[in-house]
C-alpha cells in the first residue's frame, strides 16, 4: 500500500523551502511525497495525506503575519540586501492556512528555520505550528524541530543533511502509528 506524505512550507527567502525539500527527500524512504508552498496546499492534498509535515520561518519569535512578511519583502527590496524573494513569498502564511484547516486528525510534524542561537531568545515557529496542528486533532510523530541559519540568512553547514535525516526519522517513527505499516 502506498503511504502519502504532504510537506507544506512557507518561505520568504528560500531557506524553509530548501529545508522542506531536504525533509521531503528523507521521507521518500517510506512515503510518496508531495512538496508544496502554502498557496498550493489544497484541502484535497491534505485529505489524501497519511502524514502532514509543515514548516515556516521564525518571525518575531513565532509564526509570520501579514506585517512581518511585509517587513521581510521590504528588507529584500533594499539595495545590496543580497536577499531574493521566493517565488511564493507573496502567498498566504502557514498560520492563516493552519487556522483554516478545520478539524482533521491524523499524523503530523512541525519544523521551522530560525537564526542560530538559544531558542529561548530567538523563539521558534515550530512551537506554535505544533500547537495549531494539535488543536486540529493531529498527533505529532516527532518533537518540533528547528533548522538553523546564519545572521546573513543562509542555512548553516550540515543543516541540509540533518533535515534529510529528520525526514527519515519521522518516516520511521510514523510506522508505529500508521496501521498500514504493521
Ligand X SMILES: Cc1cc2nc3c(=O)[nH]c(=O)nc-3n(C[C@H](O)[C@H](O)[C@H](O)COP(=O)(O)O)c2cc1C
Q: Is 153 in the site for ligand X (CB under 6 A)?
A: yes
Helices (H), the chain: 15-27, 43-47, 66-77, 94-99, 119-122, 126-135, 159-174
122, burial (CB in 10 Å: exposed 0-12, middle 13-18, buried 19+): middle
Q: Is 149 in the site for ligand X (CB under 6 A)?
A: yes
Per the CB < 8 A criterion, the answer to whether 112 and 95 are in contact is: no
Q: How far apart are CA 39 and CA 147, in angstroms?
A: 22
Q: Which three cell numbers stand for residue 161?
A: 543533511
Q: Is 127 in the site for ligand X (CB under 6 A)?
A: no
Nearer to ligand X, 27 or 72 (CB): 72
Crossing angle of helices 159-174 and 15-27, rounded to 10°: 40
CB of 118 to ligand X, least distance (A): 10
CB of 3 to ligand X, least distance (A): 27
Nearer to ligand X, 101 or 149 (CB): 149
Q: How far apart are CA 70 and CA 89, in angstroms?
A: 10
Per the CB < 8 A criterion, the answer to whether 22 and 83 are in contact is: no
Among the listed residues 22, 54, 58, 174, the single contact to ligand X using CB under 6 A: 58
Q: Contacts with ligand X: how many residues (CB under 6 A)?
A: 22
One symbol per residue from 15 to 34: x for binding ligand X (CB under 6 A), - otherwise; what is it?
A: xx------------------
Among the listed residues 57, 91, 93, 167, the single contact to ligand X using CB under 6 A: 57
**Of 23-31, 58-66, 100-108, 168-176: span binding ligand X (CB under 6 A):** 58-66
Q: Is 106 in the site for ligand X (CB under 6 A)?
A: no
Per the CB < 8 A criterion, the answer to whether 41 and 8 are in contact is: yes
Nearer to ligand X, 61 or 175 (CB): 61
Among the listed residues 28, 61, 136, 181, the single contact to ligand X using CB under 6 A: 61
Residues that bind ligand X (CB under 6 A): 11-16, 57-61, 68, 71-72, 75, 113-115, 122-123, 149, 153
Amino acid at each position: 500500500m502506498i503511504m502519502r506524505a504532504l510537506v507544506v512550507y512557507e518561505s520568504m527567502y528560500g531557506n524553509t523551502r530548501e529545508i522542506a525539500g531536504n525533509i521531503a527527500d528523507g521521507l521518500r524512504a517510506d512515503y510518496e511525497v508531495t512538496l508544496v508552498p502554502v498557496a498550493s496546499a489544497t484541502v484535497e492534498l491534505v485529505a489524501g495525506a497519511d502524514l502532514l509535515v509543515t514548516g515556516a520561518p521564525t518571525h518575531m519569535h513565532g509564526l509570520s503575519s501579514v506585517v512581518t512578511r511585509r517587513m521581510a519583502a521590504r528588507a529584500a527590496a533594499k539595495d545590496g540586501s543580497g536577499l531574493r524573494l521566493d517565488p511564493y513569498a507573496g502567498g498566504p502564511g502557514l498560520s492563516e492556512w493552519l487556522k483554516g484547516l478545520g478539524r482533521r486528525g491524523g499524523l503530523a510534524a512541525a519544523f521551522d528555520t530560525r537564526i542560530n542561537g538559544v531558542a529561548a531568545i530567538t523563539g521558534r515557529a515550530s512551537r506554535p505550528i505544533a500547537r495549531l496542528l494539535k488543536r486540529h486533532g493531529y498527533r505529532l510523530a516527532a518533537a518540533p524541530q528547528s533548522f538553523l541559519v546564519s545572521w546573513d540568512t543562509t542555512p548553516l553547514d550540515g543543516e541540509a543533511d540533518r533535515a534529510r535525516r529528520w525526514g527519515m526519522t519521522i518516516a520511521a517513527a510514523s510506522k508505529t502509528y500508521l496501521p498500514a505499516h504493521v
